[in-house]
């Protein structure tokens, strides 16, 4: 069936709720309203209000309650309306969700999946646009998924819900409806920690994740017109992350550009760059270049200027190729 990403999320949630009666959903406006992006549309009617739980507007409450539900044996899947709204629940994620397994010696693991639409490009201003995945990759105990396509979103979300670790599941909301894919009918799952080579190439390795992967594809197409062959890698998950696929590519091309929407300083691109230089510095023909969001808060009117465009990524590719 042909599905876009938000339909893929909806189908996956439905399937997992049918598969396991302990799966419950919590979030703001996820019931009758079906979520502000309609990711949970129809699920209240199908599963009832005990399993599709509309909550008060309090992210600390939602995430904290989900942790307790998980400790008692439910499988809560939380929707945070926008990633930008997650911070009232940050203490619950960082001090509690990420640490209960460790600090209890493995006796009280909490399995909560937190879905959050992430990234800019929808004219959302400061608080409906950010890409702050690095806050979560910096906290041991959390898994972080950053899919870019309907197929990957569904396969990774199944793995997240069927697993037993806390997951921050970042959905690429800018392409929620624009990217469509033919999806197999079977119940496939995609393991975390396996990157995907989206396009093979010989000259420059381009690493990205989330909605930025589509910007990078456009940049790679522009580069091809200039006879620069780009190998595009979609990381798919950042924790764990697949460094081997990146290294294999870097050993071939010797040149790397890492592109992400998140601000550059302390972004996850810095981690990938460090890993490459620790493991494959002899293969490098050029400095590793990052093409990232500027180190400012996310703006409203100048959103298009702030976010790396295909042209900006192309400039980084040219710089790498020409070094």
User: Percentage helix, strand, coil, to 5, in the chain?
Assistant: 40, 20, 40
We find the least distance from the C-beta atom of residue 24 to other proteins, in angstroms, to be 7
We find the least distance from the C-beta atom of residue 88 to other proteins, in angstroms, to be 7
We find the least distance from the C-beta atom of residue 244 to other proteins, in angstroms, to be 9
* CA atoms of 111 and 159, how far apart (whole Å): 12
Q: What is the DSSP string of 105-142?
A: TTSS----EEEEEE-S-SS-GGGS----HHHHHTSTT-
**134 forms bridges with which residues in the sheet?**
none
We find the least distance from the C-beta atom of residue 9 to other proteins, in angstroms, to be 23
**Choosing from 128, 138, 214, 260, which is the catalytic residue?**
128
Sole residue written with tokens 């620790």: 278
The closest of 84, 131, 171, 126 to 303, measured between CA atoms, is 126
* CA atoms of 8 and 150, how far apart (whole Å): 6
Crossing angle for the helix pair 5-19 and 150-162, nearest 10 degrees?
Answer: 30
69 vs 314, beta carbon nearer other proteins? 69
In this structure, what are the phi and psi dihedrals at residue 83, rounded to the nearest 5 degrees? -55, -35
* CA atoms of 219 and 320, how far apart (whole Å): 13
The residues that touch other proteins, with contacts defined as CB under 8 A, are 24, 50, 55-56, 58, 60-61, 63-74, 76, 88, 91-92, 95-96, 99-109, 140-141, 143, 163-165, 193, 239-241
We find the least distance from the C-beta atom of residue 161 to other proteins, in angstroms, to be 14
We find the least distance from the C-beta atom of residue 232 to other proteins, in angstroms, to be 23
**Which tokens belong to 11?**
């189908």
Q: Is 107 marked active-site? A: no
Helices (H), the chain: 5-19, 43-47, 59-71, 90-91, 100-103, 133-137, 150-162, 212-225, 243-253, 268-280, 303-306, 310-321
Q: Please give the C-alpha separations between residue 322 and each of 40, 188, 216, in angstroms, as whole numbers.
A: 47, 42, 18
Residues serving a catalytic function are: 128
């Amino acid at each position: 069936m042909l599905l876009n990403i938000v339909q893929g999320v909806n189908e996956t949630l439905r399937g997992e709720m049918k598969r396991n009666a302990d799966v419950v959903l919590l979030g703001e406006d996820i019931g009758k309203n079906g979520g502000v992006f309609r990711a949970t549309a129809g699920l209240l009617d199908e599963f009832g209000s005990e399993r599709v739980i509309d909550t008060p507007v309090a992210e600390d409450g939602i995430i904290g309650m989900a942790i307790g539900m998980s400790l008692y044996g439910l499988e809560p899947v939380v929707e945070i309306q926008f990633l930008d709204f997650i911070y009232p629940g940050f203490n619950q994620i960082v001090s509690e969700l990420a640490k209960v397994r460790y600090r209890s010696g493995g006796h009280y693991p909490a399995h909560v999946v937190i879905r959050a639409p992430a990234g800019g490009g929808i004219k959302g201003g400061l608080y409906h646009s950010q890409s702050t995945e690095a806050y979560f990759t910096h906290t041991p105990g959390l898994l972080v998924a950053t899919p870019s396509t309907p197929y990957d979103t569904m396969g990774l979300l199944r793995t997240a819900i069927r697993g037993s670790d806390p997951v921050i599941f970042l959905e690429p909301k800018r392409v929620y409806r624009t990217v469509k894919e033919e999806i197999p009918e079977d119940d496939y799952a995609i393991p975390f920690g396996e990157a995907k080579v989206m396009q093979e190439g010989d000259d420059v390795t381009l690493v990205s994740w989330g909605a930025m992967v589509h910007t990078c594809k456009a940049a790679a197409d522009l580069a091809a017109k200039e006879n620069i062959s780009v190998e595009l890698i979609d990381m798919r998950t950042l924790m764990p992350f697949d460094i081997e696929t990146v290294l294999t590519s870097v050993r071939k091309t010797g040149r790397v550009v890492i592109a992400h929407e998140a601000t550059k300083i302390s972004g996850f691109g810095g981690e990938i760059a460090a890993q490459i230089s620790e493991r494959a510095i002899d293969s490098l023909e050029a400095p590793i270049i990052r093409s990232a969001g500027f180190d400012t808060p996310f703006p409203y009117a100048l959103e298009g200027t702030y976010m790396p465009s295909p042209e900006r990524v192309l400039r980084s590719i040219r710089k790498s190729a020409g070094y």
